[in-house]
A = this chain, B = another copy of it.
Amino acid sequence: MKPIVVDAMGGDNAPSVVIEGVRQALASGIPVELVGDPSLVTDCDDIALHASSEVIEMAEEPSRAVRTKKDSSIVRAAERVRDGHASAMVSAGNTGAVAAAALLRMKRIKGVSRPAIATTLPVPGRPPKILLDSGAMVDCQPDWLHQFARMGSVFTQVRYEIEAPRVGLVSIGEEAEKGNQLVKDTHRLLADDQTINFIGNVEGRDVLSGEVDVLVADGFTGNVILKTLEGTVQFLVGEIVSALSAQDAAAVGPEALGHLAPIASELNPDAVGGAMLLGVNGVAIISHGSAGATAILNACRVAKDMVERDLVAELSGAVAV
Protein backbone atom coordinates (compact mmCIF):
# COMPACT_ATOMS: atom_id res chain seq x y z
CA MET A 1 0.00 0.00 0.00
CA LYS A 2 0.93 3.65 -0.45
CA PRO A 3 2.37 5.25 2.67
CA ILE A 4 0.28 6.96 5.31
CA VAL A 5 1.21 10.63 5.43
CA VAL A 6 1.63 12.02 8.93
CA ASP A 7 1.57 15.75 9.75
CA ALA A 8 4.89 16.32 11.53
CA MET A 9 3.82 19.78 12.72
CA GLY A 10 0.54 18.79 14.37
CA GLY A 11 -0.05 18.61 18.12
CA ASP A 12 1.24 20.16 21.29
CA ASN A 13 4.47 18.16 21.20
CA ALA A 14 5.27 18.31 17.51
CA PRO A 15 7.44 17.43 15.83
CA SER A 16 9.43 15.31 18.31
CA VAL A 17 6.56 13.15 19.57
CA VAL A 18 5.17 12.72 16.06
CA ILE A 19 8.55 11.56 14.77
CA GLU A 20 8.81 9.10 17.62
CA GLY A 21 5.36 7.70 16.85
CA VAL A 22 6.12 7.45 13.14
CA ARG A 23 9.34 5.63 13.88
CA GLN A 24 7.39 3.11 15.95
CA ALA A 25 4.89 2.70 13.12
CA LEU A 26 7.67 2.06 10.61
CA ALA A 27 9.24 -0.45 13.00
CA SER A 28 5.96 -2.32 13.14
CA GLY A 29 5.84 -2.55 9.34
CA ILE A 30 3.42 0.26 8.50
CA PRO A 31 4.51 2.39 5.52
CA VAL A 32 4.60 6.00 6.74
CA GLU A 33 5.94 9.32 5.51
CA LEU A 34 6.06 12.78 7.05
CA VAL A 35 5.11 16.21 5.80
CA GLY A 36 6.52 19.23 7.59
CA ASP A 37 9.08 22.01 7.78
CA PRO A 38 12.55 20.52 7.06
CA SER A 39 14.24 23.13 9.26
CA LEU A 40 12.25 21.88 12.26
CA VAL A 41 11.82 18.21 11.41
CA THR A 42 15.40 17.12 11.92
CA ASP A 43 17.28 14.01 12.96
CA CYS A 44 15.02 11.73 11.01
CA ASP A 45 16.87 10.85 7.84
CA ASP A 46 15.36 7.39 8.15
CA ILE A 47 11.87 8.75 7.38
CA ALA A 48 10.65 10.15 4.04
CA LEU A 49 9.89 13.84 4.54
CA HIS A 50 7.87 16.04 2.18
CA ALA A 51 8.54 19.70 2.69
CA SER A 52 5.93 22.24 3.70
CA SER A 53 6.75 25.74 4.87
CA GLU A 54 3.70 26.77 6.90
CA VAL A 55 2.04 25.60 10.09
CA ILE A 56 -1.62 26.02 11.06
CA GLU A 57 -1.71 26.78 14.77
CA MET A 58 -4.19 25.13 17.14
CA ALA A 59 -6.17 28.32 17.78
CA GLU A 60 -6.48 29.48 14.16
CA GLU A 61 -9.86 29.77 12.51
CA PRO A 62 -9.91 26.56 10.44
CA SER A 63 -11.33 27.46 7.04
CA ARG A 64 -9.48 30.76 6.85
CA ALA A 65 -6.23 29.02 7.80
CA VAL A 66 -6.73 26.33 5.16
CA ARG A 67 -7.51 28.96 2.51
CA THR A 68 -4.52 31.15 3.27
CA LYS A 69 -1.85 28.66 4.32
CA LYS A 70 -1.68 26.63 1.14
CA ASP A 71 1.77 25.31 1.97
CA SER A 72 0.87 24.16 5.47
CA SER A 73 1.59 20.61 6.55
CA ILE A 74 -2.13 19.86 7.01
CA VAL A 75 -3.09 21.06 3.52
CA ARG A 76 -0.13 19.30 1.92
CA ALA A 77 -0.98 16.06 3.69
CA ALA A 78 -4.55 16.20 2.39
CA GLU A 79 -3.21 16.85 -1.11
CA ARG A 80 -0.94 13.83 -0.98
CA VAL A 81 -4.00 11.66 -0.31
CA ARG A 82 -6.01 13.41 -3.01
CA ASP A 83 -3.21 12.93 -5.55
CA GLY A 84 -2.79 9.26 -4.76
CA HIS A 85 0.70 9.58 -3.28
CA ALA A 86 -0.52 8.63 0.17
CA SER A 87 -3.25 6.20 1.18
CA ALA A 88 -4.37 8.07 4.29
CA MET A 89 -3.50 11.06 6.46
CA VAL A 90 -2.91 11.42 10.19
CA SER A 91 -2.65 14.73 12.06
CA ALA A 92 -2.71 15.78 15.70
CA GLY A 93 -3.12 19.39 14.64
CA ASN A 94 -6.05 21.83 14.60
CA THR A 95 -9.12 19.56 14.34
CA GLY A 96 -11.21 21.97 12.33
CA ALA A 97 -8.35 22.65 9.93
CA VAL A 98 -7.77 18.94 9.31
CA ALA A 99 -11.48 18.52 8.62
CA ALA A 100 -11.57 21.57 6.35
CA ALA A 101 -8.41 20.60 4.45
CA ALA A 102 -9.61 17.03 3.95
CA LEU A 103 -13.01 18.26 2.80
CA LEU A 104 -11.65 20.91 0.42
CA ARG A 105 -8.84 18.81 -1.03
CA MET A 106 -10.22 15.25 -1.02
CA LYS A 107 -13.85 16.36 -1.55
CA ARG A 108 -16.90 14.56 -0.26
CA ILE A 109 -17.91 11.02 -1.04
CA LYS A 110 -20.64 11.21 -3.69
CA GLY A 111 -23.99 11.62 -1.97
CA VAL A 112 -22.60 12.82 1.37
CA SER A 113 -24.06 16.18 2.44
CA ARG A 114 -21.56 16.92 5.20
CA PRO A 115 -18.65 15.09 6.79
CA ALA A 116 -18.62 14.18 10.47
CA ILE A 117 -15.91 13.47 13.00
CA ALA A 118 -16.36 10.07 14.63
CA THR A 119 -14.65 9.86 18.01
CA THR A 120 -14.05 6.59 19.80
CA LEU A 121 -14.93 6.78 23.49
CA PRO A 122 -13.03 4.09 25.35
CA VAL A 123 -15.07 2.40 28.08
CA PRO A 124 -13.16 0.36 30.67
CA GLY A 125 -14.04 -3.32 30.48
CA ARG A 126 -16.42 -2.93 27.55
CA PRO A 127 -16.40 -2.26 23.81
CA PRO A 128 -15.90 1.43 23.02
CA LYS A 129 -18.66 3.74 21.86
CA ILE A 130 -18.57 5.91 18.76
CA LEU A 131 -19.70 9.52 19.02
CA LEU A 132 -20.36 11.53 15.88
CA ASP A 133 -20.33 14.34 14.95
CA SER A 134 -17.89 15.49 17.59
CA GLY A 135 -17.20 18.88 16.10
CA ALA A 136 -17.09 19.15 12.30
CA MET A 137 -20.59 20.57 11.70
CA VAL A 138 -22.01 22.73 14.48
CA ASP A 139 -25.28 23.80 12.86
CA CYS A 140 -26.87 20.70 11.36
CA GLN A 141 -29.96 19.68 9.44
CA PRO A 142 -31.92 16.48 10.09
CA ASP A 143 -30.80 14.77 6.87
CA TRP A 144 -27.17 15.41 7.75
CA LEU A 145 -27.65 13.72 11.12
CA HIS A 146 -29.37 10.92 9.28
CA GLN A 147 -26.26 10.40 7.18
CA PHE A 148 -24.08 10.64 10.28
CA ALA A 149 -26.09 7.74 11.70
CA ARG A 150 -25.53 5.64 8.59
CA MET A 151 -21.86 6.50 8.33
CA GLY A 152 -21.30 5.93 12.05
CA SER A 153 -23.01 2.56 11.82
CA VAL A 154 -20.88 1.43 8.89
CA PHE A 155 -17.69 2.77 10.48
CA THR A 156 -18.43 0.87 13.69
CA GLN A 157 -19.01 -2.31 11.71
CA VAL A 158 -15.79 -1.94 9.74
CA ARG A 159 -13.60 -0.64 12.55
CA TYR A 160 -14.87 -2.67 15.52
CA GLU A 161 -16.50 -5.60 13.77
CA ILE A 162 -19.78 -5.06 15.61
CA GLU A 163 -22.39 -6.53 13.31
CA ALA A 164 -25.50 -4.41 13.75
CA PRO A 165 -24.31 -1.49 15.87
CA ARG A 166 -27.00 -0.01 18.09
CA VAL A 167 -27.47 3.57 16.93
CA GLY A 168 -28.80 6.08 19.47
CA LEU A 169 -29.79 9.69 18.91
CA VAL A 170 -28.56 11.98 21.70
CA SER A 171 -31.48 13.76 23.31
CA ILE A 172 -32.78 14.79 26.72
CA GLY A 173 -35.18 11.92 27.23
CA GLU A 174 -35.81 8.49 25.77
CA GLU A 175 -39.23 9.28 24.37
CA ALA A 176 -39.44 10.16 20.66
CA GLU A 177 -41.09 13.50 21.40
CA LYS A 178 -38.27 14.65 23.71
CA GLY A 179 -35.56 16.93 22.39
CA ASN A 180 -35.07 20.06 20.37
CA GLN A 181 -36.59 20.48 16.92
CA LEU A 182 -33.51 19.10 15.17
CA VAL A 183 -33.60 15.93 17.24
CA LYS A 184 -37.34 15.42 16.85
CA ASP A 185 -37.09 15.76 13.07
CA THR A 186 -34.05 13.49 12.94
CA HIS A 187 -35.75 10.88 15.10
CA ARG A 188 -38.42 10.35 12.45
CA LEU A 189 -35.81 9.86 9.72
CA LEU A 190 -33.84 7.35 11.77
CA ALA A 191 -36.92 5.45 12.86
CA ASP A 192 -37.88 4.94 9.21
CA ASP A 193 -34.42 3.79 8.11
CA GLN A 194 -34.24 0.01 7.76
CA THR A 195 -30.49 0.05 7.00
CA ILE A 196 -29.51 0.91 10.57
CA ASN A 197 -30.25 -0.59 13.97
CA PHE A 198 -31.82 2.51 15.49
CA ILE A 199 -32.63 2.04 19.17
CA GLY A 200 -34.14 5.48 19.76
CA ASN A 201 -33.03 8.42 21.85
CA VAL A 202 -30.24 8.12 24.38
CA GLU A 203 -29.17 10.59 27.05
CA GLY A 204 -25.94 12.06 28.30
CA ARG A 205 -25.88 9.45 31.04
CA ASP A 206 -25.70 6.70 28.40
CA VAL A 207 -22.46 8.02 26.95
CA LEU A 208 -20.31 5.64 28.96
CA SER A 209 -22.72 3.11 30.40
CA GLY A 210 -25.63 2.90 27.98
CA GLU A 211 -26.59 -0.07 25.84
CA VAL A 212 -25.67 1.73 22.66
CA ASP A 213 -22.74 1.61 20.20
CA VAL A 214 -23.11 4.73 18.07
CA LEU A 215 -24.13 8.11 19.52
CA VAL A 216 -25.44 10.56 16.93
CA ALA A 217 -25.45 14.30 17.60
CA ASP A 218 -24.82 17.59 15.84
CA GLY A 219 -21.21 18.74 16.05
CA PHE A 220 -21.90 21.32 18.74
CA THR A 221 -23.63 18.89 21.08
CA GLY A 222 -21.14 16.14 20.29
CA ASN A 223 -18.19 18.36 21.07
CA VAL A 224 -19.74 19.54 24.33
CA ILE A 225 -20.32 15.90 25.32
CA LEU A 226 -16.76 14.94 24.48
CA LYS A 227 -15.23 17.82 26.42
CA THR A 228 -17.56 17.35 29.39
CA LEU A 229 -16.63 13.68 29.50
CA GLU A 230 -12.90 14.38 29.23
CA GLY A 231 -13.08 17.17 31.79
CA THR A 232 -15.03 15.10 34.28
CA VAL A 233 -12.71 12.13 33.97
CA GLN A 234 -9.63 14.35 34.34
CA PHE A 235 -11.08 16.17 37.31
CA LEU A 236 -12.04 12.98 39.13
CA VAL A 237 -8.75 11.25 38.39
CA GLY A 238 -6.97 14.31 39.80
CA GLU A 239 -9.11 14.31 42.94
CA ILE A 240 -8.60 10.58 43.47
CA VAL A 241 -4.85 10.70 42.96
CA SER A 242 -4.66 13.65 45.32
CA ALA A 243 -6.76 11.96 48.03
CA LEU A 244 -4.78 8.72 47.81
CA SER A 245 -1.44 10.54 47.72
CA ALA A 246 -2.19 12.57 50.83
CA GLN A 247 -0.19 11.87 53.95
CA ASP A 248 -3.08 10.27 55.83
CA ALA A 249 -3.47 7.70 53.01
CA ALA A 250 0.21 6.80 52.92
CA ALA A 251 -0.40 3.28 54.22
CA VAL A 252 -2.78 2.29 51.41
CA GLY A 253 -2.48 5.00 48.75
CA PRO A 254 0.24 3.63 46.49
CA GLU A 255 -1.21 0.13 46.35
CA ALA A 256 -4.76 1.44 45.91
CA LEU A 257 -3.62 3.62 43.01
CA GLY A 258 -2.05 0.52 41.50
CA HIS A 259 -5.46 -1.19 41.56
CA LEU A 260 -7.05 1.84 39.89
CA ALA A 261 -4.38 2.27 37.22
CA PRO A 262 -6.02 -0.14 34.75
CA ILE A 263 -9.20 1.97 34.71
CA ALA A 264 -7.25 5.15 34.00
CA SER A 265 -5.26 3.41 31.33
CA GLU A 266 -8.38 2.09 29.59
CA LEU A 267 -9.83 5.60 29.57
CA ASN A 268 -6.69 7.05 27.96
CA PRO A 269 -7.63 8.41 24.51
CA ASP A 270 -4.11 7.66 23.24
CA ALA A 271 -5.08 3.99 23.01
CA VAL A 272 -7.62 4.67 20.26
CA GLY A 273 -5.22 6.79 18.19
CA GLY A 274 -7.61 9.45 17.05
CA ALA A 275 -10.93 10.42 15.60
CA MET A 276 -11.95 9.52 12.06
CA LEU A 277 -13.30 12.04 9.58
CA LEU A 278 -16.17 10.30 7.82
CA GLY A 279 -17.61 11.36 4.49
CA VAL A 280 -14.53 12.57 2.62
CA ASN A 281 -12.88 10.75 -0.25
CA GLY A 282 -10.02 9.34 1.77
CA VAL A 283 -9.02 8.14 5.19
CA ALA A 284 -8.24 11.04 7.55
CA ILE A 285 -7.47 10.58 11.23
CA ILE A 286 -7.37 13.43 13.70
CA SER A 287 -5.39 12.68 16.83
CA HIS A 288 -5.74 14.55 20.10
CA GLY A 289 -3.61 17.70 20.32
CA SER A 290 -1.90 16.20 23.34
CA ALA A 291 -1.29 12.91 21.54
CA GLY A 292 1.77 10.98 22.62
CA ALA A 293 3.91 8.78 20.39
CA THR A 294 1.64 5.82 21.15
CA ALA A 295 -1.37 7.75 19.88
CA ILE A 296 0.45 8.49 16.61
CA LEU A 297 1.45 4.84 16.27
CA ASN A 298 -2.11 3.71 16.94
CA ALA A 299 -3.50 6.27 14.51
CA CYS A 300 -1.22 4.87 11.80
CA ARG A 301 -2.37 1.35 12.63
CA VAL A 302 -6.02 2.36 12.38
CA ALA A 303 -5.36 4.26 9.15
CA LYS A 304 -3.73 1.20 7.59
CA ASP A 305 -6.59 -0.99 8.73
CA MET A 306 -9.23 1.39 7.33
CA VAL A 307 -7.42 1.62 3.99
CA GLU A 308 -7.16 -2.16 3.75
CA ARG A 309 -10.82 -2.63 4.59
CA ASP A 310 -11.76 0.11 2.14
CA LEU A 311 -13.75 2.18 4.59
CA VAL A 312 -14.40 4.86 1.97
CA ALA A 313 -16.13 2.38 -0.36
CA GLU A 314 -18.18 1.03 2.53
CA LEU A 315 -19.31 4.53 3.51
CA SER A 316 -20.08 5.32 -0.10
CA GLY A 317 -22.31 2.25 -0.28
CA ALA A 318 -24.10 3.19 2.94
CA VAL A 319 -25.07 6.70 1.89
CA ALA A 320 -26.05 5.58 -1.62
CA VAL A 321 -28.83 3.29 -0.32
A230 within 8 Å of B (CB atoms):
yes
Say which residue of B138, B204, B236 sits within 8 Å of A228 (CB atoms).
B204
Interface set, chain A 122-180, CB cutoff 8 A to B: 124-125, 135, 138-139, 170-172, 175, 177, 179-180
A263 within 8 Å of B (CB atoms):
yes
B207/A231 in contact, CB under 8 A: yes
Expressed in whole angstroms, the Cα–Cα distance for A221 and B251 within the complex equals 43
A208/B231 in contact, CB under 8 A: yes
Given A207-B232, A229-B204, CB of A240 within 8 Å of CB of B239: no
Expressed in whole angstroms, the Cα–Cα distance for A206 and B235 within the complex equals 10
Nearest-Cβ distance from residue A211 to partner chain B, whole angstroms: 13
Number of copies: 2
Expressed in whole angstroms, the Cα–Cα distance for A219 and B208 within the complex equals 22
Would you call the interface of chain A mostly helix, strand, loop, or mixed? Answer: helix
Residues of chain B within 8 A of A171, CB atoms compared: 220
A232/B243 in contact, CB under 8 A: no
- A29-42 CB contact bits vs B (8 Å, 1 = yes)? 00000000000000
Say which residue of B210, B249, B255 sits within 8 Å of A259 (CB atoms).
B249
Residues of chain B within 8 A of A124, CB atoms compared: 239
Residues of chain B within 8 A of A47, CB atoms compared: none
A48 within 8 Å of B (CB atoms):
no
Expressed in whole angstroms, the Cα–Cα distance for A204 and B180 within the complex equals 19
What is the chain B residue whose CB lies nearest that of A203? B227
A225/B223 in contact, CB under 8 A: no
Expressed in whole angstroms, the Cα–Cα distance for A124 and B240 within the complex equals 11
Pick the most buried of A61, A207, A208, A232: most chain B CB atoms within 10 A of its CB.
A232
Nearest-Cβ distance from residue A193 to partner chain B, whole angstroms: 23
B234/A232 in contact, CB under 8 A: no
Interface set, chain A 178-209, CB cutoff 8 A to B: 179-181, 183, 203-209
Pick the 4 closest A-B CB pairs, nearest first.
A204-B227, A205-B231, A204-B228, A256-B256
- What would 16 A/B residue contacts be, using CB atoms closer than 8 Å? A61-B177, A135-B172, A179-B220, A204-B225, A204-B231, A205-B230, A205-B234, A207-B232, A221-B224, A240-B240, A240-B263, A243-B262, A246-B259, A251-B255, A252-B255, A253-B256
